[in-house]
Structure 1
């Protein structure tokens, strides 16, 4: 007897009898002709902030890269393994995507770890600690809880982190060149899990505002 999660098998059954039936033609077309997503979405692994759900997108519409705290590392062609950078390269160079969105969210566990590092790593490799180290200097600049509440500090870093990732995106030559030519658009967004509110970043000021429906 398979020990595959029963909840996933049930979800698959519902998918096949519901959404797949409704969109079978689209799936067949995507299989035959390949994908042409309109947007590259860099989002967090958090199970509560799935981009396809938030933006009500169907198959083939978004090319999604998810990692802890939706971070984009700087361009580093050093011969090491770079999953996020590889996905960026494929989306821009192979799929010719010209809209990139970095989407953060409220109550992000990775951002919390950057603000208040754990005394002991979760494992000897300390992968999360090293990954969130990209934000260490930025986190140190967020005022202490004597001035701001913990939730205010976290929201601040969640949004500043998005701006940092956008700055790192522009260190990639293929992205920087396209943006300078006006052929690439880079966006920031922040999603509040508790209220469902979406805030988008003003490209000129860096402020986050509620978009008009």
Structure 2
């Protein structure tokens, strides 16, 4: 692979700094993680957005979370069609093999993927409507929920509400996976929907009883 280049110097320097400090001070813990395997209690499905730092939000250490990231933290509906499904594979592994007790979907403010869905639905992003657009076809998962927010005039509020609908879409689609639904019914797995405000550091959790997101 001729196109693979050396690591940028600033990243190499950061690695050596980590190895000399954090790793050196916790070497026994890292070796235990390597030898004992992973036993996370929860899986977190979050957005790829670089501003969403899952482990920092919850003060988590290595080995605590099984994390999967994709555009707009979406989970597609169960579809065993023989194609390649990265998100579905991650969910299967977490639930079936790792047997996590909690499955968390974490949405966030100022989500570019959600805004792309809005623009696409409003006819402002013809490039996303192209069949060749991976982002556009991925956002088709959320597209039906646009009708719920279509009449909201304030753009920020509209985006915020569709961001939360993205979380709800994923929770709904997770229940189409038979082995997720079975474990939920058996009380062996719980689903959680969260939304975080990046600028304010806020965190909201969906309440099934009140049918809305409430501050944690």
TM-score by length of 1: 0.92
* Counterpart mapping for 1:88-99 below 5 A: 88-99=91-102
Moved over 6 A (4+): none
* Counterpart mapping for 1:59-98 below 5 A: 59-98=62-101
- Post-superposition offset of 1:210: 1.2
Please say if 1:187 is aligned against 2:192: yes
CA distance in 1, matches of 2:196, 2:149: 20
Q: Structure 1 residues 50, 122: CA separation in 2 closer, same or farther (over 3 Å shift)?
A: farther
- Post-superposition offset of 1:170: 0.5
Please say if 1:35 is aligned against 2:38: yes
CA contact (8 A) 2:42 2:65 kept: yes
CA contact (8 A) 1:46 1:108 kept: yes
Equivalent position to 1:206, from 200, 208, 211: 211
CA RMSD of aligned residues (A): 1.6
CA contact (8 A) 1:191 1:198 kept: yes
- Post-superposition offset of 1:56: 1.5
Give the equivalent residue in structure 2 for 1:112: 115
Q: Of Structure 1 and Structure 2, which has the larger fraction of its residues in helix? A: 2
TM-score by length of 2: 0.91
> Aligned residue pairs: how many?
208
Mark the runs of 5 or more structure 2 residues left unpaired by the alignment. none
Mark the runs of 5 or more structure 1 residues left unpaired by the alignment. none
